[in-house]
Amino acid sequence: MTIQATAGPVVEARDLVKHYKTGGETVEALRGVDFRVDSGDFVAIHGPSGSGKTTFLNMVGCIDKPTSGELLVYGQSTATMSEGKLATLRRDRIGLVFQVFNLIPVLSTYENIEYPLLLQGVPRRQRQERVRKLIEAVGLEKEHRRRPDKLSGGQRQRVALARALITETHLVLADEPTGNLDTETSKRILGIMQSLNENRDVAFVVVTHDPMVGGYAKRTLEICDGRLSRDDVAMPADRIRTEAS
């Protein structure tokens, strides 16, 4: 399977709002976010702890639903999609790297990376070829049999990245993919992302505290108190003019 370029934006969000209700309290985690990602984009989103970065990725990755606002993924509105359709969209078309890696503890490096292909029913030979190639790309040949508890943080992070990339989606969302990694490993992971972005048009949205990520991105946005710095790409020209005047 090769990555097909898609026409139009990969993600479009308009006025996304997310409120969490805990006890009697409401947390306004996102307060009206406009955002757009095109094919081949590489966006870094910086922001302090608690500013809404993970919440934002959970919305875009269709893991959680916004309180209000509109979200289109590959041109399809997610608001009216059934749970089944959302699950298929997540499985086949969005690569996710979580802040906590969510690796399956009883599976080896190889099996963790292979897992999404099993869910997709990809035949064994193809699975083998793709997993081997990716294991080599992230430099985990020696660790391919090891379970997550026998890997370092950086190695686990690379397994998580490889698992997000294995389905050859056109959109990868990564939450702090270089969090707690040494500079060399961070560079290696970012280099893999950059090469996929440039050579295969994979769009990346990376939320992070790490200023180094900005050096690899084509655009950098800030999120603060649930508001994203104005994303000119997401704003129709007339609206930008109106706000500027």
Ligand X SMILES: Nc1ncnc2c1ncn2[C@@H]1O[C@H](COP(=O)(O)OP(=O)(O)OP(=O)(O)O)[C@@H](O)[C@H]1O
- Interface with ligand X (CB under 6 A): 20, 22, 27, 29, 47, 49-55, 99
- Kindly write out the interface string for residues 47-66 of this chain, putting x where it contacts Mg ion by CB under 5 A and - elsewhere: ------xx------------
CA distance 220 to 215: 9
- Which pair of structure tokens corresponds to residue 60? 């875009």
Among candidate residues 72, 64, 71, the one with its CA nearest the CA of residue 175:
64
Q: Which of Mg ion, ligand X, none sits in contact with 20, Cβ below 5 to 8 A by type?
A: ligand X
Residue nearer to ligand X on the CB measure, 51 or 186: 51
- Which pair of structure tokens corresponds to residue 164? 């997000």
Q: Are 193 and 172 in contact (CB under 8 A)?
A: yes
C-beta of 16: minimal distance to Mg ion in Å?
Answer: 16
Helix axes 109-120, 124-137, angle to 10 degrees: 140
C-beta of 143: minimal distance to ligand X in Å?
Answer: 27
Q: Which of Mg ion, ligand X, none sits in contact with 50, Cβ below 5 to 8 A by type?
A: ligand X
Residue 208 touches Mg ion, criterion: CB under 5 A: no
C-beta of 226: minimal distance to ligand X in Å?
Answer: 7
Q: Are 86 and 126 in contact (CB under 8 A)?
A: no
Residue nearer to ligand X on the CB measure, 50 or 75: 50
Residue nearer to ligand X on the CB measure, 36 or 53: 53
How is 131-164 classified by DSSP, letter by letter? HHHHHHHTT-GGGTT--GGGS-HHHHHHHHHHHH
Q: Which of Mg ion, ligand X, none sits in contact with 186, Cβ below 5 to 8 A by type?
A: none
| Chain residues that interact with Mg ion, rule: CB under 5 A | 53-54
